[in-house]
Copies of this chain bind each other. A is one copy, B any other.
Amino acid sequence: MSKSLNLVPFVSVEHMMDLVLEIGIDTFLVELSEYLEEDFRRWEHFDKTPRVASHSAEGVIELMPTSDGRLYGFKYVNGHPKNTRSGRQTVTAFGVLADVDNGYPLLLSEMTILTALRTAATSAVAARYLAPANARTMALIGNGAQSEFQARAFHALLGVDNLRLFDIDPSATERCRSNLAGLGMTITACRTAEEAVEGADIITTATADKQNATILTDNMIGPGVHINAVGGDCPGKTELHRDILLRSGIFVEYPPQTRIEGEIQQLDANHPVTEMWRVIAGLSDGRADTRQITLFDSVGFATEDFSALRYVYDKLQGTKHFAELDLLADPDEPRDLYGMLLRRQSILMTPQVA
């Protein structure tokens, strides 16, 4: 997009909102899911590594890099459950897409909103392969920042139109219901998680506490249900009782990362799991039969952010939804970095003519 080598397109939060709204939330989720599926199918082309995490008492800061050999992407993301007390987001993120051939960034983008969209789109992509046929009813447990995005993605991609909400904070449920009004979905606010899962084909858990919790107990899970576990995503943070895992067909993004961060950190290191990309690529089966409990143990993986950055980069062309940042030093002669500093000095020292 940029003619000058020093400038990098920057998508601010406002730019991202305007881009998403111009495309339309449903269309954005559907098109993003196509990028996600495309990259899952060519999984073996990616340079993959578990995220690089820096843990502290209050939370975690992570870097999530990956590359397909042509493009390189990484995301910076934090997770600090106590942040809401100071008016901050639990999770904020930004990311960069770069050209592998010369190492220059192609795009710097906010990724708080984009991550919410990609997480929801990834859940819906997985559910297309794992949820029972004609699933229309979803329990949504944990009605925080991710909840409406999950609802929108399952509505747009699978036709889910019956939502059963539960959160330990009723005001969160009320906000979620209110935000989702007018989209043609039947929404029921439930008083307990037990009530929320009644009749649900799909159960999505998206809670945020940084600790082992038991949002779902074994007796709540009947045959044939698909569980979309989004909230457990770091060591010591899980949402499901171990017994549920032992009864489920478990599908994961990248086993070396999920074994550390996902629900399966509760299981033996060699407990069998199926890699989601293999299902999408047609190399492994998804749901086995109508009675199988399927679990997508989602922790979020770098390739999904890569897909999202790649999609945004493509959609950005020809729009005005970005600014240009003077991020890269661009001396007239590449090896003359110091000379650039000297020339700046002489510009600054030149008397201004009034």
Which chain B residue lies CB-closest to A74? B63
B102 in contact with A175 (CB, 8 Å): no
A59 in contact with B21 (CB, 8 Å): no
Q: A288 contacts which chain B residues (CB < 8 A)?
A: none
Q: How many copies does the complex hold?
A: 2
A326's partner among B12, B88, B330 (CB-CB below 8 A) is: B12
Most buried by B among A58, A101, A102: A102
**Known contacts A110-B328, A337-B145; A83/B100 CB under 8 A:** no
A20 in contact with B341 (CB, 8 Å): yes
Main secondary structure of the interface of A (DSSP, over half): mixed
CA distance A334 to B169 in the complex (A): 14
Q: Is A69 an interface residue (CB 8 A)?
A: yes
Q: How far is the CB of A104 from chain B (nearest CB, A)?
A: 6
**Known contacts A338-B148, A344-B14; A329/B110 CB under 8 A:** yes
* Contact count band on A: 35 or more
Q: A325 contacts which chain B residues (CB < 8 A)?
A: 10, 12, 325
Q: Is A285 an interface residue (CB 8 A)?
A: no
Q: How far is the CB of A109 from chain B (nearest CB, A)?
A: 9
Q: Is A249 an interface residue (CB 8 A)?
A: no
Q: How far is the CB of A180 from chain B (nearest CB, A)?
A: 8
**Known contacts A74-B76, A334-B145; A101/B58 CB under 8 A:** yes
Q: Is A157 an interface residue (CB 8 A)?
A: no
Q: Is A219 an interface residue (CB 8 A)?
A: no
Q: Mark A39-51, 1 if CB is under 8 A from B, else 0.
A: 0000000010100
A89's partner among B79, B105, B329 (CB-CB below 8 A) is: B329
Q: Is A218 an interface residue (CB 8 A)?
A: no
Which chain B residue lies CB-closest to A84? B334
Q: Is A354 an interface residue (CB 8 A)?
A: no
Which residues A60-90 have CB closer than 8 A to chain B? 60-61, 63, 65, 67, 69, 72, 74, 76, 78-80, 83-84, 86-90
Q: Is A172 an interface residue (CB 8 A)?
A: yes
B98 in contact with A61 (CB, 8 Å): yes
Which residues A328-344 have CB closer than 8 A to chain B? 328-331, 333-342, 344
Q: A341 contacts which chain B residues (CB < 8 A)?
A: 17, 20-21, 25, 113
Q: A327 contacts which chain B residues (CB < 8 A)?
A: 12-13, 94, 110
17 contacts between A and B (CB under 8 A): A6-B13, A21-B341, A52-B63, A52-B65, A54-B72, A60-B103, A76-B105, A78-B103, A87-B334, A89-B328, A112-B328, A116-B337, A145-B334, A145-B337, A146-B337, A175-B339, A179-B339
